[in-house]
Structure 1
Amino acid sequence: MHAGDVIAILESRDLAAQHAEAAAALQEAEASASTTVKGNVPLTNAQDQKSITDARAALENARKTYERRQTLFAEGGISQKELEASKLTMTNAENDLRLAEASTTLHRGVTNPGDIRVAQSKTRQARDRLANLDAQLSYTIVRAPFAGTITDQFQYQGDLANPSAKMVTIADTSRLIAKMQISEQIASTLKAGDTVKVLPDDLPGQTFAGTISLVGRGVDAVSRSVEVWVAVANPTGLLRPNGVARVIISAQPVNNAVIVPSPAVTLDATTAKSGMVMVVDAQSVAHEVHVTVGIRSADRTQITSGLRGGETVVTEGNYGLPDGTKVSIAKPGTTEQ
């Protein structure tokens, strides 16, 4: 799967209902805040608007009456007194309009600032609750955090989802990490970036190149070993997560090294650098030879001094074998009686 692909969808009907309720509450809070900011009460606003409309109509009527009476006065139809009375009526209508407009402005400005802040605070609270529910709803859709393969599934459709329970395991198999415990002595010679060979047990005959990515800084108190990580490219997906493999590390390359089977060396102590090897001469007589060992593994041991190379050594029954004992050399595929 790719990063962002949906893995599972959790049941969320209760959250969806809370989300719808929160959305309605936000709309109500916004409407209340708008009414509080714009004016006192709707009835007062309507009355103020009616007053302005009536004052404008009265002024228009008074102006037209005054204009008609000006014409009549010019023709001698009315007296100067009647003309002046008409002008006074028009002036009073103008004053009434200005008063209505001023009253409306005052009414809109008398809203308590504290009421406005309260209304705005309720709006923010409603908006924050809706955002919180949006976030919770987004968590009900579980998506892949990165590209990979589902290697384990722990929950199935209909199961009760628990925050502490695993749902699936996703592994990025394009690059794997091989973890191992290495002796403290060998680990001290390793560093990040060293190349190694990885031989999976389930893919006999196949070898994968790896690189050391981590050499632990701590030592196990019981085994005296150090944890080492090896990064292995796996573009074809042949390697399986949690598989078992052998790792070959060229920790201390030595030219023309003398190597003997590890069972042929009897060490003076478990952690000693010296020991004894039984070497068989041309007359099939075993002789005790003291040696110094170098690099060791479960199968092979390097001899740094005591042997020249090419000698025949005893690999079975050498412990406690007296010096000068005549032995017989077993041929491959035969069993000593």
Structure 2
Amino acid sequence: MLLLFISRSLVLRKLLNWKVLSLVLLLIAAGAIFWQKWQGPEVRAYRVALHPLVQQVVATGRVASDSRADVGSEITAIVQERLVERGQEVQQGQVLIVLRANDLKAQAQEAQAALNLLINSKRPQAQARLAQAQSHLTQAKREAQRRRLLAKEKAIPAEDLEQAENALAAAQAGFDQAKLEVMALAEGGVEEAILQQRLNAVRAALDKTQIRAPFSGTVLEHYIAPGDTVQPGETLLTLRDQSNIELLVPVDERNLGILEVSQPATVLADAYPNNAFKATIISIAPVIDPQRGTVDIRLTANPAPKFLKEDMTITATIQTARNDSALVVPNDVFFQKEGNKAKVWLYSNGKANEIDVQTGLSSLSLSQITEGLSEGDVVLSATNGITNGQRVRANISPLPTSRTSTAPERTDGETPMKLD
């Protein structure tokens, strides 16, 4: 009986201990729940910090160079040879097409022969005739003077004097004629100028049989083959100036207020995603496309990569502003935002306090605070249901990071646009 009594006492004592322990645990759990409710709901929070902020506009466009030229012929001729193919790079002055020029070559040889004949034959002969006429004139003058003296003394008849005067006049005329001929055939004279102009004209026409590149660039298209007859004004080739590539990018008109000429950009071609290159805005269209709500901007890359092709799709990341030490907060903390003014929840003493702030640069994930907050302040995500003065528990998260991109300059400040 004694053993039975002792056993029952031990069991009751154990049961009593378990009840007490359960009651204590229940009180602790209730206290924790009450404490959490008293502290308020858990809300994602961020610490205001200094952070590099780049404001960018990202849009898709195409290679659209205006620096292209249609190359044609100035004469009617038959194509003898085409020396270039589509896509071939050429240098300024390089021969692209050769036209048949047999007749012009013969004319050039004939004009050169005529000029050589003038210089080597006609001119020396004229000079010799002038010297001979000079000698005859001198002799005729002496004879005429002698006969004048004899006629004055009545030593010869008048007819002899008349003959001498006539001979002198003839010699003078011959000398004048020879002198004019020498002047006409002299270096730089009329005859040489005529022959030289004729030769130059034939050479110019002959030069037109070799069609050359007006600038360094790329052959986009050719429209003729050897044996074709070409006419003046007909397009034979189309060239693009590779050194003056332009990029046409339509951008959402909402970004027009932050775009300016000379802003830098990083460009990627869809076909070469690992080869980023630099470009600069050179013009912004003065009109808006009413159907798409976009404004066309043009960029230039100098020097342009050789892999760029006409109408190739590109993506331009335009840097519109930059601040390497901006006071930033994530964009999800704002509510009642109008322009550069907004409200945020400032976490202080365990409570959410509504305050007004002013914003500056804005990116895809972060915005600059210019007034209303200080470095180290804690702000809450604009979660629905928070009231001013409400107790909350701040779960501080790191600031959003930049998304990965192959563009070296691309960071988190992006306004993405993707247009066909």
TM-score scaled to structure 1, two decimals?
Answer: 0.50
TM-score scaled to structure 2, two decimals?
Answer: 0.41
Structure number with the bigger relative contact order (C-alpha 8 A, sep ≥ 6) is 2
More strand by share: 2
